[in-house]
Structures are given as C-alpha cells and as structure tokens.
C-alpha cells in the first residue's frame, strides 16, 4: 500500500489508542468497584492491565508491529473479560460486554482474524453464562441468553459486512490512486512506491536494478493527424504491446503524456538494454490499426542502472531521460544506454 495513504494502518492505530484509553478508564473504575466487593484477584488483574495499557499507549504511535502489539493486548484483555464472566459473583449485566467483542476484533484485526476471534470468544462468553446462571432461573436465563446471543450475532454480521465492504473499497481506492486511468498501467506514484521497495531489496541482496525510460516517437503528429481519440488508442496499444514482453516482476508505468518507464528488478544495464531493444522491435513490428489501416509506431528509450547512475529514483530518471533524448537526436527508434552518447 502507498505509504502516504496507508489509511488502514492509521485507522487501526487510532482505534487501538481509543481502546487503550477506554481500558485505562474502565480499569480504574472496575478496580475500585471490585475492591468494594472484596474481589482482590480481579482488582490486581485490572491494575496490572491498566498499567500495561498505559505502556502500550506510549509506544503505539512508533511501533512497526501494530498487529502483533494489538494481539498481545487483546489476548489478556479478552482473558480478563472471560475471567470476569466466569466469576460466580459477577453481575448478569456484565454479559452485555460480550456484544463489544466483534466490534473490537473486526476494527483492530480485520476480516479474517476478526471473524475467528469473534466466534471463539463470543461462544466462550455465552458458554460461561450458561454455566453460572442457567440453574438460578432457567426461564429468565434462557430468555436473556437468547437476547444477548441474537444481538451479538447481529453485531457480528454487521461488523463482518462493514469490514468486508471497507476492505474492498480501500483496495479499489488504492488501485485508482496508483493506476493510470487510460492505459491501466501503474502511475508515477506507484513507481515511486515500488522503486523504494526494490532498491532496498537490491541493496540488501547486492542485486542489480535497472530503469528504462520510454518515449513514443512522433506522438504529437498522431494526435494532430488523427485526433486525440486515436492518440488515446495509441497509448493503450503501446501499453498492451510492451506489457506482453515484460516479466511478472517488472513494472511498466505511464509517467504522463507519451512518456513511460519500466522498472526491471534483478537486471543489469546490459540486460536492460537487450530488453529495451526487444520492446522497441516488438512495437515496431506490431502496427496499430487506424480505421482499418495499419499504422507503425516506434519508441526511443534510455537505460539507467542503480548505483552507476545514482541511488535515488529522480537520479535514475534523469539519466535515462537524457539517454532517451540522445536516442531521439540520433534519429529515433533506438535505445541508448551509453553515457557518452547521452552527453554527445
């Protein structure tokens, strides 16, 4: 996911902080209440958990392991809740807290873990109720059990539906943000995100990483002669033809206008030049049909390599862009990877 729009992570972080504050407030309240009833074990557990919540509130904003921290928090949190429900002296009203379990788990853990946790702990909570209250007044207890059980089931279904819809909406939003609407390729933002990941991988494993800058030759003439609709068709044709040659690990993206780039992980400069040549040849040999008439398209390309041409994306883009313009000056429909030609 794009770091700048990692809504899910930030949303769960805020939810977690809210729950920590609620835990501390209710921990103090219930520890005082249980102390008046002489339930010192529960008092000790609640005080310890209140202090744990305070510690987690301090570290939650800077942790990289939010889900792990959340699970570490939730297991004793739900354990304390189950222990409270299991206590014979617990008020029957406490069982209303079972209904909060699906909401908390879905909001903090997502769809799969939320469903698993809800089924597990809601079932356990209802079982504990049957063990401690069913014999006291069976008819009243059964009615209460059905009420709280059906209400909790409804909340679980609503929570599951909400989380599923939210996850699908967020996924679609991320696709829209990172995809070029015309060609369906990745856009510049996606390139920036993937480059950061691939550069870290290349530096960590000492593997090459190459960037190819691609520019459609005489694209303005296509627009001027045939119109913008044909120009859009040409962009889609270009994207389709080149995508068929690239590997699944490669990233082809549209930078804007008729300018494209291909990020090639685990690829040396020589290998990237060969791939760019294949792309050039494939495009030149695959004309686009305009009103039933084949129209040949060509490209000019420049190649840059991580390390030799820089460590940042803008440095590689600048180097590859210069070589692309060198290819255009040399007559177009060619690939340049040599620094001398780019400066010439």
Per residue in 92-133, pLDDT (tens digit) is 667 777 888 888 888 888 888 888 988 888 888 888 877 766
| Residue 229: active-site member | no
Cα 267 to Cα 120: distance, rounded to the nearest angstrom: 48
Query: Is the distance from CB of 9 to CB of 110 less than 8 angstroms?
Result: no
Among candidate residues 46, 163, 198, 258, the one labeled active-site is 258
Q: What distances in angstroms separate CA 332 from CA 210, 215, 275, 276, one per listed residue?
A: 21, 10, 17, 14
Residues 6 or more apart whose Cβ sits within 8 Å of residue 45: 80, 83
pLDDT digits (tens, 9 = 90+) for 133-192: 655 555 556 666 677 778 788 888 888 888 888 778 777 777 667 788 899 999 998 999
- pLDDT tens digits, one per residue of 193-209: 999 999 999 999 999 99
Domains of the chain, with CATH numbers?
3-178 (no CATH), 188-343 (3.30.70.270)
């Amino acid at each position: 996911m794009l770091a700048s729009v990692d809504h899910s992570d930030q949303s769960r972080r805020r939810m977690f902080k809210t729950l920590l504050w609620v835990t501390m407030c209710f921990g103090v309240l219930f520890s005082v209440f249980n102390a008046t009833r002489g339930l010192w074990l529960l008092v000790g557990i609640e005080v310890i958990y209140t202090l744990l919540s305070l510690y987690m509130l301090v570290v939650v904003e800077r942790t990289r392991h939010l889900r792990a921290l959340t699970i570490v928090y939730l297991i004793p949190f739900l354990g304390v809740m189950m222990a409270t429900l299991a206590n014979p002296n617990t008020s029957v009203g406490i069982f209303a807290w079972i209904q909060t379990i699906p909401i908390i788990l879905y909001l903090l853990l997502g769809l799969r873990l939320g469903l698993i946790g809800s089924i597990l702990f809601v079932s356990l909570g209802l079982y504990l109720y049957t063990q401690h209250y069913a014999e006291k007044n069976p008819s009243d207890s059964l009615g209460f059990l059905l009420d709280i059980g059906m209400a909790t089931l409804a909340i679980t279904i609503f929570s599951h539906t909400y989380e599923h819809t939210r996850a699908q909406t967020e996924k679609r939003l991320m696709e829209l943000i990172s995809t070029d609407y015309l060609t369906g390729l990745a856009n510049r933002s996606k390139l920036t995100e993937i480059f950061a990941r691939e550069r870290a991988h290349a530096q960590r494993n000492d593997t090459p990483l190459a960037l190819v800058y691609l520019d459609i030759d005489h694209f303005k003439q296509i627009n001027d002669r045939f119109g913008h609709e044909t120009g859009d068709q040409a962009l889609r044709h270009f994207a389709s033809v080149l995508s068929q040659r690239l590997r699944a690990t490669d990233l082809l993206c549209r930078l804007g206008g008729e300018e494209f780039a291909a990020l090639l992980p685990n690829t040396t400069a020589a290998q990237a030049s060969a791939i760019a040549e294949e792309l050039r040849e494939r495009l030149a040999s695959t004309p686009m049909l305009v009103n039933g008439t084949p129209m040949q398209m060509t490209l000019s390309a420049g190649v840059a390599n991580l390390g030799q041409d820089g460590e940042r994306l803008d440095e590689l883009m600048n180097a590859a862009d210069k070589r692309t313009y060198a290819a255009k000056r040399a007559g177009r429909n060619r690939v340049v990877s040599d620094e001398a030609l780019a400066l010439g």
